[in-house]
Amino acid sequence: MASAPVNASSVPDGYLSTNFMDLLSLSRTVQVVTGGARGIGLALAFAIAEAGGQIAIIDAAPEPHANYALLQSACDKVEYYQSVSLSLPLAFASLDYGTPSTDACECLRGHRSDVTDHGRLSNTFEDIVRDFGRVDGIITAAGICPDQPFLSRDPASVKRCLEINTLGTYYSVQLAAAQMTKQPTLPGRAGAGSVVMIASIAAHQASKDQHTSDYCMSKGGVLALTKQLGVELASHQIRVNCLSPGYIATDMTAELIEKRPLLGEIFNSEPPMKRIGDRKDLKAAAVFLLSDGSAYMTDAEMLITGGMHAGRI
Ligand SMILES: NC(=O)c1ccc[n+]([C@@H]2O[C@H](COP(=O)([O-])OP(=O)(O)OC[C@H]3O[C@@H](n4cnc5c(N)ncnc54)[C@H](O)[C@@H]3O)[C@@H](O)[C@H]2O)c1
């Protein structure tokens, strides 16, 4: 739906009535995070909770990371503060998530599901809509990163990488977007929903001392999908952007370093900022992209790499 055209006597001044904390709030929204049982997905689920959103995690892992119990505590806290109309920044002022919680709370659900299995994934989205009634945003963080020289790369493993990183992203976004088009827009919110895909700097350049041909191809696909869907879904008021991290310390990179310790040095020396990224470096960007703070932003890629996408010194 197009807004009324601006003329000289009616320049909109919404900036006077909308403060930036409200723009960044995810309150009342339902956000899906694939690959949220650990790593970047889990960290971004904390960011969503801290911004007031409800969360449905989809992951194939049999058990989530131990910090998932802290996420449950964080969600309990959000639920309580919202129920008594207290401000969320106050809830997290001390950054104390309380004691780890094993109780299911209303604003967090974990689903064991595989993003490559369309039938099962489709049932999972039905479960999410049954639990929460809607889907307002999705972060696609499920992914793997095999490392093997191109000439000896095993075809079955190449296929699996593309299935998880690219097709799994495609299926998840398609199911989320289909739901967004079916539901009424939340009162006071801009647009029908926001998609945030996790691509990678690997969509742009080779990584020093890593052999990740299919991974790079898979992330190039995610970047291309972002561009196409941003245009294609704009008429549905669904925004589509991606976050492309450089090296970020997670269980995935820790496992790589364990196998090949030299990679630890590379991760801390290649970025111009001379350190590996921390997952907290992605939290604000993810909330911004999911929220109305980025209401006029679609088809964009946010590169968070410590400067590495521009060059090396
Ligand atoms: N860590 C980095 O340096 C880095 C950099 C750029 C991009 N990325 C991307 O960010 C995403 C997350 O990476 P991470 O470092 O947190 O990895 P991670 O291995 O710590 O977490 C990935 C999660 O995805 C889940 N997953 C894997 N296959 C799945 C499937 N078929 N269905 C559902 N869930 C599945 C895993 O169980 C795991 O919980 C990946 O797409 C990765 O390519 C990571």
User: The domain that contains 44 carries what CATH number?
Assistant: 3.40.50.720
Is 306 a pocket residue for ligand 1 (Cβ < 6 Å)?
no
- How far apart CA 183 and CA 129 sit, in angstroms, is 10
**Pick the residue with more confidence: 201 or 85?**
201
Is 35 a pocket residue for ligand 1 (Cβ < 6 Å)?
yes
Asked if residue 246 belongs to a domain, the reply is: yes
Q: How does pLDDT run across 218-249, given as a tens digit for each residue?
A: 999 999 999 999 999 999 999 999 999 999 99
Asked if residue 14 belongs to a domain, the reply is: no
b vs e for 144-176, b when ≥16 Cβ sit within 10 Å of the residue's Cβ? Answer: bbbeeeeeebeeeebeebbbbbbbbbbbbbebb
Pick from 143, 131, 126: nearest CA to 36: 143
Please give the residue range of the domain that contains residue 55: 26-304
Q: What is the DSSP letter of 205?
A: S
Asked if residue 11 belongs to a domain, the reply is: no
**CA angle 8–12–18, rounded 5-degree value:** 160
Asked if residue 6 belongs to a domain, the reply is: no
Asked if residue 163 belongs to a domain, the reply is: yes
Q: Report the pLDDT value the prediction gives residue 105, as an integer from 0 to 100.
A: 75
Is 295 a pocket residue for ligand 1 (Cβ < 6 Å)?
no
Asked if residue 1 belongs to a domain, the reply is: no
Residue 32, beta-bridge partner list: 56, 138
Place of tokens 């926001």: 194
Q: Report the pLDDT value the prediction gives residue 104, as an integer from 0 to 100.
A: 66
Q: Report the pLDDT value the prediction gives residue 93, as an integer from 0 to 100.
A: 60
Q: Report the pLDDT value the prediction gives residue 76, as an integer from 0 to 100.
A: 87
Q: Report the pLDDT value the prediction gives residue 77, as an integer from 0 to 100.
A: 83
Q: How does pLDDT run across 34-48, given as a tens digit for each residue?
A: 999 999 999 999 999
Residue 308 clears pLDDT 90, i.e. is over it: yes
Is 234 a pocket residue for ligand 1 (Cβ < 6 Å)?
no
Q: How does pLDDT run across 244-280, given as a tens digit for each residue?
A: 999 999 999 999 999 999 999 999 999 999 999 999 9
Band of the pLDDT at 89, cuts 50, 70, 90? low
> Could you give the C-alpha distances from 145 to 162, 183, 199, 211, 254, in angstroms and in order?
10, 35, 12, 10, 12
Asked if residue 279 belongs to a domain, the reply is: yes
Total domains in the chain come to 1
Ligand 1, atom 34: closest residue by C-alpha: 59
Q: What is the DSSP letter of 51?
A: T
Q: Report the pLDDT value the prediction gives residue 222, as an integer from 0 to 100.
A: 99
Share the mean pLDDT of the chain: 93
Tokens describing residue 154 = 């095993």
Q: Report the pLDDT value the prediction gives residue 95, as an integer from 0 to 100.
A: 56
Is 144 a pocket residue for ligand 1 (Cβ < 6 Å)?
yes
E strands, 134-236, where? 137-140, 193-198
Asked if residue 13 belongs to a domain, the reply is: no
Band of the pLDDT at 24, cuts 50, 70, 90? very high
Question: Is there a contact between 286 and 47 (Cβ–Cβ < 8 Å)?
Answer: yes
How would you classify the pairing of strands 108-112 and 30-34?
A: unpaired
Band of the pLDDT at 101, cuts 50, 70, 90? low
Q: How does pLDDT run across 166-197, given as a tens digit for each residue?
A: 999 999 999 999 999 999 999 999 999 999 99
Is 203 a pocket residue for ligand 1 (Cβ < 6 Å)?
no
Q: Ligand 1: which of 32, 33, 145 to mutate, judged by most atoms within 8 Å of the beta carbon?
A: 145
Question: Is there a contact between 107 and 79 (Cβ–Cβ < 8 Å)?
Answer: yes
Q: What is the pTM of this model?
A: 0.95
The burial class, CB within 10 Å (0-12 / 13-18 / 19+), for 10 is exposed
Q: Report the pLDDT value the prediction gives residue 10, as an integer from 0 to 100.
A: 83
Ligand 1, atom 38: closest residue by C-alpha: 35
Q: How does pLDDT run across 122-170, given as a tens digit for each residue?
A: 999 999 999 999 999 999 999 999 999 999 999 999 999 999 999 999 9
DSSP sequence for 78-141: HHHHHHTT--HHHHTTT----S---S--TTEEEEE--TT-HHHHHHHHHHHHHHHS---EEEE-
Tokens describing residue 109 = 């659900």
Q: How does pLDDT run across 73-85, given as a tens digit for each residue?
A: 989 888 777 777 7
